[in-house]
Amino acid sequence: MLVIAPIKPIYLTWPNEIEKWKEFNHLTYHIIHGKTRNFWEYEDADIYLVNPEGMKWLEPHLLKLQCDVLAVDESTKFKNSTSKRFKMLRRFIPKFARRYIATGTVCPNGLLDLFGQMYILDEGHALGRYITHYRKKWFTPDWSGYNWEANDNAMGEITTAIAPLCLQLNAEDHIDMPELMETDILVQLPPDVMKLYKEIENEYIASLPETNTELVAASDAAAGTKCRQICNGAVYTDGKMWEPVHNEKINALVDILDQIGELPVILVYEFQHDKERIMAAVEGCECMTGVFGDALRDMEHRFNLGMINRLVVHASGTAGLNLQGPCSHMVWLCMPWDLEAYMQTIYRLYRQGQKATIVMVYRILAEDTLDLRVVRILKEKEEEQNEVGRRIADYRR
């Protein structure tokens, strides 16, 4: 079997799970990555593990592997059917007699996310062979022509088409799960910072109150990004250079950690300056970003033993990892737009094996800002995704 999965799961989760289960721990595996990608030295391996970025190198060597089965873990990495990674995978899909995909967030940004993933399974039998046909059948473009809204009949017809291919398993239906409690901690931006925020939001240009450094946003998206940075407490001025503007969220983070005490906590950031300010304000932090191989295995092991009390992770860098150990607390300094990043990070704690009765997720939000809109949009995306899951489960029943 060839397994395509994010880099951290291929080094941690897959090897650990293979070894943990007595039904499967006789299977041999080989990681095709970096210095270990010379798979011809391990021609008798049962399982080969590669990350999506390694597929370009692997493609001309696929015939040597002689794999019968393809498993795509975190299949939403291939939800964009116009991406290079999807087009590369599409070329060798027919080489596999059996194909499986797995994800905990099947359509984090709407029904359009389903096309690429379903194509991996059936080469277009359920939803059509081309994304253009899929969009034309079930979606309507907005005024810009770039965004697509699902038609009224789309949810019912699409889920009916894909249900025979899918198995929806909710942990809550099969095992005793802890309660998931999301708590919003609201902070008030200082008046001068709120003035800066409004100027960027409305005028796309402003000057920092302390240094008079000019901030310019070239588009709506750029203005939104700068607004969210200002909410967090710092903003990029030029390239990688950033300046602090307030400490409200960092102070709230420190207060939360004081309440939690010595219990292990996962601290989630989005911007690089968030990480740097967290590391400076909180003692005993270790950051998982950019850690791979043996160092990553050691960090996960120490965290799950309770030897690391404050683990700093990026909002998009934890999918597939098992981090629940003794940890049941998580703090978000900034909420991401991407539902997949948000839910996959929470699933590191809210999962089978969690011994706590409650998983606490703290979300630090700036009042009267874009932070609150992000939370609202994520909720809407989650409701649509849950509806897909409910319909598939109803079909199975």
Q: Is 218 within the bounds of a domain?
A: no
The tokens for 43 are 């021609």
291 φψ region: left (φ > 0), alpha (ψ -120 to 50), beta (else): beta
Residue finishing a domain among 125, 141, 173: 173
Do residue 250 and residue 154 come from a single domain? no
* Cα gap 194→212, rounded to integer Å: 16
198 pLDDT higher than 80: yes
- Which CATH number characterizes residue 330's domain? 3.40.50.300
Q: How many domains does the chain have?
A: 2
Do residue 43 and residue 166 come from a single domain? yes
Q: Is 39 within the bounds of a domain?
A: yes
- Which CATH number characterizes residue 161's domain? 3.40.50.10810
Give 329's strand partners: 265, 360
Q: For residues 156 and 55, which has the higher predicted lDDT (pLDDT)?
A: 156
Do residue 180 and residue 306 come from a single domain? yes
pLDDT band at 233 (very low <50, low <70, confident <90, very high): very high
Do residue 20 and residue 56 come from a single domain? yes
Do residue 116 and residue 184 come from a single domain? no
Distance of CA 288 to the CA centre of its chain: 15
Distance of CA 385 to the CA centre of its chain: 15
* Cα gap 366→186, rounded to integer Å: 6
Q: Is 22 within the bounds of a domain?
A: yes
Do residue 184 and residue 320 come from a single domain? yes
Average pLDDT over residues 207-228: 85
Give Cα separations from 377 to 180, 206, 372, 381 (angstroms): 19, 27, 9, 6
Q: Is 302 within the bounds of a domain?
A: yes
Do residue 90 and residue 55 come from a single domain? yes
Residue finishing a domain among 140, 173, 206: 173
* Cα gap 89→91, rounded to integer Å: 5
Q: Is 349 within the bounds of a domain?
A: yes
**What proportion of the chain, given as a percentage, has pLDDT over 70?**
96
Find the range with the poorest average confidence among 1-5, 166-170, 284-288, 366-370.
Answer: 166-170
The per-residue pLDDT for range 239-279, each reduced to its tens digit, is 778 999 999 999 999 999 999 998 999 999 999 999 999 99
Do residue 66 and residue 129 come from a single domain? yes
The pTM score is 0.81
Q: Is 296 within the bounds of a domain?
A: yes
Do residue 49 and residue 128 come from a single domain? yes
Q: Is 241 within the bounds of a domain?
A: no
Give first-to-last CA distance, the chain, whole Å.
30
The per-residue pLDDT for range 65-98, each reduced to its tens digit, is 788 999 999 999 999 998 988 998 998 898 899 9
The tokens for 90 are 């599409």
Q: Is 211 within the bounds of a domain?
A: no
The per-residue pLDDT for range 91-145, each reduced to its tens digit, is 889 889 999 999 988 888 889 999 999 999 999 999 999 999 999 999 998 877 7
* Cα gap 197→173, rounded to integer Å: 44
Do residue 291 and residue 260 come from a single domain? yes
Do residue 261 and residue 152 come from a single domain? no
Do residue 139 and residue 184 come from a single domain? no
- Give the domain extent around 322: 175-189+246-369
Give the residue carrying structure tokens 């060597």: 61
